Amino acid sequence: MTDRMTVADTARIGQASDLVGAVARLDVSGLSEEDFLGAYEAAARLGRLTDALRARFAGDAARRSSPDQAGGGLARRQGFGNAASMVAAVTGGSQAGAWRAIEAAGALTTKLPLAHDLSDPGEVSDNHPGPEDRSDLREPADDEPVHRFPALADALLSGKLSTDAAALVTAGLQSMGDRVPSDQLHELERRLVAKAKNLKVQDVRRLVAHAVARADLAGHVEREKRQHADRYLSWSEDHTGMVTLNGRLDAVTAAPIRTVIEQMVTHQFRQRRDQDPLEQDQRSVGQLRADALYDLARHALGCKETTNSGVRTTIIVRMNLSDLNTGEGLGRIDGTHQPVSVGELRRLAGEVGVIPQVLGGSSVVLDQGREVRMFTRAQRLALLERDGGCAKCHAPPEHCEAHHIVWWKHGGGTDLSNGVMLCTRCHHDIHRQRWRIRIRKGTVEFIPPPHIDPSQTPRPGGRTAITPDGDGRHSTHEPPVRETGKNSVSTITTHTEKPRENPAHNAATQEAA
């Protein structure tokens, strides 16, 4: 059982605050690079521990703010509409941050499972702060453990995990707490915590979404139905004439919109390479996206030519062939982090007019050896099946290119065991900082240089880095698949132009393990 805080402990909090405040006034610019990095990590751990303490208070504020309490609960008695409003006022933060702290507190106290949807607390705005009441905390009995999720609580209280990451993991686990057996739930908890310690929050979000979807497919399908029903788009015009668009879209509805706009923007950026620096396009990414949406609408109003844009407007959908045939299971859309049920992917295929192709057969060459320098489209899709996007930073596929691990001019072959998907920034960083890359059993590993990690411990890349152990479907590229079997991956491509017989439009990938 966790010890109870006393008035004396409150005094210790004040003393610790004074000490940290004194250190915060110190100038760090005189530290050597090594000392700076060490001190920075120590400060980051201190911040995570402080956030864990604040989460504990936020969680208890939510418990005390239950409508069943006298006067409508603590928050109402203090003049606030809900616990998050009170927490935000005390901390000086946002209501979105307050909800994340309350969510993270679920790992620190015994708590009944929440029936709310698995959504990203980071996407809750102050205008849409979430449910009015998420204060279902209760006092534990004497013989109950305080920590509902012990591995998660240990990581949070040791400063190894941020409250933002803990909130995502907690929300994911609680979303299926009454649907998955306890032993399976805690095994998944341990695996998620082990992965999340080394990930950024946006990657933790992807990790949790995929893990929860696979552990509770029926619940995931129900969430998809609710999200599709909740989709909307609205706009308003202010007194200056500027129009504000606002909306929420489910993954399948958003997929073609995001894919086309992002690929149009990527096409514009690549065109800049050949432009005169004095006349180069200076539009920001936001401006390019706005102009892309305008161009799409203008095109729909009257343009009949769809084959000369120069933009690769293709949606890549991946799923197991057996799942495609049965209509059950999970797949994914390149560039979309949320896993998608096969049923929804089939709906997408029916609504946008796709070209289905079963891939990885003997008619597609995935290994070109030394005969050809550039990776083919088939190989690029196979690499994306393994890496997901940038194998190092997980940037979306449209921002990446296939690169040789051993340079072609130095004898490296143009095959999957020597290829890796990288965004431009990571590609340059790897060469500049002298990282090493290797492929082991179809998994990408990045080996840091000694000045970054003296032990040079390999770091997993690609999908392996953001997938719980045992849940991943990683391509096994040793040797390339030559036969189409019942577990082959089906890739579905959609084009803005009329489908035609052309080898350039064939897609290929390898069997998912």
What average pLDDT does range 413-423 have in this prediction?
Answer: 87
- Say yes or no to pLDDT of 229 above 70: yes
Count the Cβ atoms, other than its own, within 10 Å of residue 426. 23
Q: Which residue has the higher pLDDT, 329 or 121?
A: 329
What mean pLDDT comes out for the span 457-471?
79
User: How far is 237 from 150, CA to CA, in rounded Å?
Assistant: 50
Residue 467 DSSP label: S
Tell me how far apart the alpha carbons of residues 173 and 107 are, in angstroms, rounded to a whole number. 10
**In the structure encoding, which two tokens stand for residue 198, read together?**
């080394």
Highest-pLDDT range among 96-105, 144-153, 171-180 = 96-105
Percentage of the chain with pLDDT > 70?
A: 76
Tell me what pLDDT residue 302 has: 61
Residue 356 in contact with residue 490, Cβ under 8 Å?
Answer: yes
**For the segment 283-325, what is each residue's pLDDT rounded down to a tens digit?**
888 999 998 888 888 777 665 554 444 444 567 787 887 887 7
Summarised one tens digit per residue, pLDDT across range 12-54 is 999 999 999 999 999 999 999 999 999 999 999 999 999 999 9
d(CA 47, CA 23): 13
Is the per-residue pLDDT at 435 higher than 70?
yes
Residue with token string 């929440």: 114
pLDDT at 488 over 60: no
**Which pLDDT does position 504 carry in this prediction?**
30
Our CA angle for 192, 193, 198, nearest 5°, is: 100
List, in order, residues 6 or more apart from 337 with CB less than 8 Å away: 205, 206, 209
**How much is the pLDDT for 491?**
45
Question: Can you give the pLDDT at residue 377?
Answer: 80
> What distance lies between CA 71 and its chain's CA centroid?
41
Domain spans in the chain, listed from the N-terminal domain onward: 7-215, 377-480
Query: In this structure, are residues 220 and 212 in contact, taking their beta carbons and an 8 Å threshold?
Result: yes
Which pLDDT does position 353 carry in this prediction?
A: 53
pLDDT tens digits, one per residue of 266-282: 888 878 877 777 777 78
pLDDT of residue 56: 93
Do the bridges between strand 436-440 and strand 355-358 make them parallel or antiparallel, or are there none, so unpaired?
unpaired
What is the token pair recorded at 54? 């604040």
Among 239-248, 352-361, 403-412, top mean pLDDT goes to 239-248
- Of the candidates 93, 102, 250, the one whose C-alpha atom is nearest the C-alpha of residue 170 is 102
Give the pLDDT confidence score for residue 168 in this predicted structure: 95
CA dihedral 197, 203, 205, 211 (to 10 degrees): -80
Model confidence band, residue 415 (pLDDT cutoffs 50, 70, 90)? confident
Going by C-alpha positions, the residue among 65, 146, 143, 141 that lies closest to residue 98 is 65
Report in angstroms the alpha-carbon separations of 45 from 17, 28, 284, 353, 433.
Answer: 15, 17, 35, 51, 26
The pTM assigned to this predicted structure is 0.68
pLDDT at 351: 57
Residue type, 380: R
In tens, the pLDDT along 101-156 reads 999 999 887 644 443 333 444 444 444 444 444 444 444 445 445 688 999 999 99
* pLDDT for 313: 54
